[in-house]
């Protein structure tokens, strides 16, 4: 298997909800493993997500987990996820779903470099950038 780079997002107890939301946006196969599956059902936070991975038919991979007790959680810090390409309908569809109930920081519109670009934070505080080439 080749090396790959993908985002890994930490959540404050709502990783399951977030990953199911992203699955509804992008489709694909979602795998969620809980702390309890690895440490036993009596473990603290047993129902929380220790590791989640969404793999899509388009080749996207998104990983996530709930932040373990005692570790700091700073939503939105140091993470933005970029989606780019030339499939206008697909990328606009992602934009509509990700920006719904979120905050648009840059409207999806034609930019000085010739592409359509927009930036938003989704309802979980995750930053997304969408760039549609030459549209």
Q: Which segment of 77-86, 93-102, 121-130 scores lowest on mean pLDDT?
A: 77-86
pLDDT confidence of residue 44: 78
> How much is the pLDDT for 52?
93
The DSSP element (H or E) to which 107 belongs, if any, is strand 103-110
pLDDT at residue number 3: 63
CATH architecture of 80-132: Roll (3.10)
* Model pLDDT, residue 34: 93
Confirm if 52 and 15 have CB atoms less than 8 A apart: yes
Name the 3-class secondary structure at 109.
strand
Domain locations along the chain: 8-66, 80-132
Give pTM, 2 decimals: 0.77
């Amino acid at each position: 298997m080749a090396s790959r780079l993908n985002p890994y997002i930490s959540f404050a107890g709502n990783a399951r909800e977030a990953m199911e939301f992203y699955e509804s946006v992008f489709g694909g196969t979602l795998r969620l493993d809980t702390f309890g599956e690895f440490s036993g059902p009596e473990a603290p936070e047993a129902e929380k997500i220790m590791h989640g991975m969404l793999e899509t038919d388009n080749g996207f991979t998104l990983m996530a987990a709930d932040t373990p007790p005692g570790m700091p959680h700073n939503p939105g810090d140091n993470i933005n996820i970029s989606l780019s390409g030339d499939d206008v309908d697909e990328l606009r569809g992602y934009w509509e779903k990700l920006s719904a109930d979120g905050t648009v920081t840059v409207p999806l519109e034609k930019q000085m470099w010739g592409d359509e670009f927009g930036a938003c934070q989704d309802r979980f505080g995750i930053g997304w950038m969408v760039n549609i080439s030459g549209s």
